[in-house]
A and B are shown apart, each in its own frame.
Chain A
Amino acid sequence: MIALEQVNKVFRLPHDKKTTLRQRFVSIFQKSTYEQLYALRNINLKVNKGEFLGIIGKNGSGKSTLLKLIANVLEPTSGTISVNANVAPFLELGVGFQGDLTVKDNVFLYGALLGMSKKQIVDKYDWIIDFSGLERFVDAKLKNLSSGMQVRLGFSITVSIETPILLVDEVLAVGDIDFQQKCYDSFKSFKKNGRTIVFVSHDLSAVEKFCDRVVLLEEGKAIAEGSPSDILDEYQRR
């Protein structure tokens, strides 16, 4: 389903980033200096169909970079990534929302951004509004809604997408208990439907509960891989 072979990702962090012609002109004889940050080193990873894969690791260990590479937002510095089906990126909820548009318009905009066709959105529209509990506010401007409501809307739209692969990054951290329960319930149903999920989280209990397999990242390297209980032990020992 997803296969990564010898993937490296190097970020260049210039000491003095030149983003204008003027800066380049002024420093025309200066060699630009930069730090190389190895976000990911030699990652080999296979995710099978229907698998729920967890990725854990400390801050800055490359978890989010890995998801962005799979989502094709970033390009690998070297190595190959092949993804065998469509991907729904769950990287941040409501990232394309426009506060000045109504809730209804935002459903169509965000759905289209995530790759849905008009027909798919129309079919799912009632379900989305119902799931988010915003029936009364469909014609209200999004910016007038509370941030909790906006997150709920973003989540409802994302959940309604029927791609075979889901990439989930820390979305559970934002909601209250009810909302988190809703998230977990939908994960259970995803799993039942045989969808492939890559899940990045610091919530170790959730990782243990849902994942079939866990990968532990440290400083961009995959240092351990195996069943949730083994890897969580390993992680807590470090």
Chain B
Amino acid sequence: MLSWLFINVYRALRFQAESEKEQAMSSYTENCKGENSLGRKNYVYLTLVMAITDFKIKYDNSVLGYFWSLLKPLLMFGTLYLVFSVFVRWQVENYKLYLLLGIILWNFLSEVTLNSMILLEGKAPILKKIYFPRWIIVIASSLTSLLTLLLNIVVFFVFFILSGASFRSTSWRMVVYLIELYVFVVGLAFLLCALFPKFRDIHHIWEVFVQLGFWATPIIYPISIVPEKYHALIFLNPVARIIQGCRQALIGPSGEFLSFTSHIIVISVAACVFVAGLTMFNKLSGSFAEDL
């Protein structure tokens, strides 16, 4: 299964490389001059406007509005909490918070990566008519999800205070992990978005991967129930490290994921994925207007 996936990706890339060879001679130059020039800073504004627009469209038009975005992780949390704290009892301190944090963070990953593929089809009419750097749509959509994530984290802290937990001195470490998570997830989004026009069914494949990842990551279960020898395997996944790290920072007890080495591992994986994703995206985005 994996091997034919690679073969096909390879074939598509070779096809791309061939057409690029033909393009070797071609180029497009644009020099911005004059006071009316639409400079680089306008791209930042465009990204923000797009992100806000996406957010408005997503939530403004439903009766419950923004509450839907809270309700989704909360309902999931409620169901899983019922099952795993009443029927199955894990020996985890503060299981409620432990579970909620895991779900919120994983939801961010699944939302950004899955959205990144639907994006292009929704924006196809614009892409075919107006030029702007294509990465803007991916970043804009990730910012929309980031806003949802931050609002969800506020809700998490409401639960946190209600449950009587006290803030730990390591809490600020969570911010570092969130930045790492964002870089990693956006890298994945670039990669998936770039491949989507050529391989439409990557959306279905990725859906399965997200589902698998949910269970392969210690989100609902404590890592202690997994035999020691598989730990290395589970923590190959940087998101597992990020989720564990956030938990150790906020809920405790402190552990290896707060160490400097752990951050180094996660940030280097995230940076690699980001660079690979962006490179692929820049390579393939030139033909979006034709492939869509």
Task: Using CB atoms and an 8 Å cutoff, list the residues of chain A in contact with chain B.
Answer: 7, 11, 19-22, 24-25, 28, 68, 71-87, 89, 91-92, 95-96, 98, 100-101, 105, 108-109, 112-118, 162-164
Contact = CB atoms under 8 A, between A and B. Distances in A.
Nearest to B42: A117
A170 B10 CA distance: 41
Contact of A85 (B32, B39, B198): B32
Given A25-B4, A71-B131, A84 B33 contact: yes
A113 B15 CA distance: 31
B199 A95 contact: no
B230 interface: no
Sorting the interface of chain B by its residue count into under 10, 10 to 19, 20 to 34 or 35 or more gives 35 or more
A149 B31 CA distance: 35
A19 B49 CA distance: 31
A116 B44 CA distance: 11
A101 B58 CA distance: 11
Given A21-B199, A84-B33, A95-B125, A100 B205 contact: no
Contacts of B129: 73, 89, 91-92, 95
B283 interface: no
Contacts of A83: 28-30
A195 to B, nearest CB: 10
Interface stretch (B19-27, B77-85, B107-115, B150-158): B19-27
Contact of B199 (A7, A20, A113, A164): A20
Most chain A beta-carbon contacts within 10 A, residue among B7, B199, B291:
B199
Contacts, number: 146
Contacts of B61: 100
| Dominant secondary structure at the A interface | loop
B53 A105 contact: yes
B130 A24 contact: no
Interface in B112-151: 125-132
Given A21-B8, A21-B199, 13 more contacts: A7-B26, A72-B28, A72-B30, A73-B131, A75-B286, A78-B22, A80-B29, A81-B28, A83-B29, A89-B131, A92-B129, A115-B42, A116-B42
A180 to B, nearest CB: 21
Contact of B29 (A82, A100, A115, A164): A82
Nearest to B57: A100
Considering residues B27, B60, B205, which has the most beta carbons from chain A within 10 angstroms of its beta carbon? B27
B49 A24 contact: no
B14 interface: no
Contacts of B126: 95-96, 113
Contact of B45 (A25, A81, A95, A117): A117
A109 B36 contact: no
Contact of A86 (B26, B37, B197, B205): B37
